[in-house]
């Protein structure tokens, strides 16, 4: 999964109003913009795949465990 895919995921979500980026350099910015312009919004299949990927990452990492 690329940074561009992550941006596309956020921008394809109707509940997201703003997406901030933090490219390290101009090349990364250009690559991310290329993905956004060239690929457009995610399909429903791509959205589902990224959600499943995120669930696996969330379950396998204690970094994403919220404690109150």
Other beta carbons within 10 angstroms of residue 24's beta carbon come to 8
pLDDT band for 59, please (50, 70, 90 cuts). confident
pTM for the full model?
A: 0.72
**Which domain does 38 fall in, by range?**
3-64
- Rounded CA separation 26/29 (Å): 5
Per DSSP, 64 falls in state G
Domain count across the chain? 1
Tell me the per-residue pLDDT of 2-15, one tens digit each, with 9 for 90 and over. 888 899 999 998 99
Tell me the per-residue pLDDT of 10-47, one tens digit each, with 9 for 90 and over. 999 899 999 998 899 999 999 989 988 999 889 999 99
């Amino acid at each position: 999964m690329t940074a561009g895919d992550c941006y596309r995921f956020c921008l394809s979500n109707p509940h997201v109003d703003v997406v901030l980026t933090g490219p390290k350099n101009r090349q990364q910015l250009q690559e991310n913009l290329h993905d956004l312009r060239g690929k457009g919004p995610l399909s429903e299949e791509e959205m589902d795949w990224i959600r499943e990927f995120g669930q696996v990452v969330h379950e396998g990492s204690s970094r994403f465990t919220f404690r109150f």
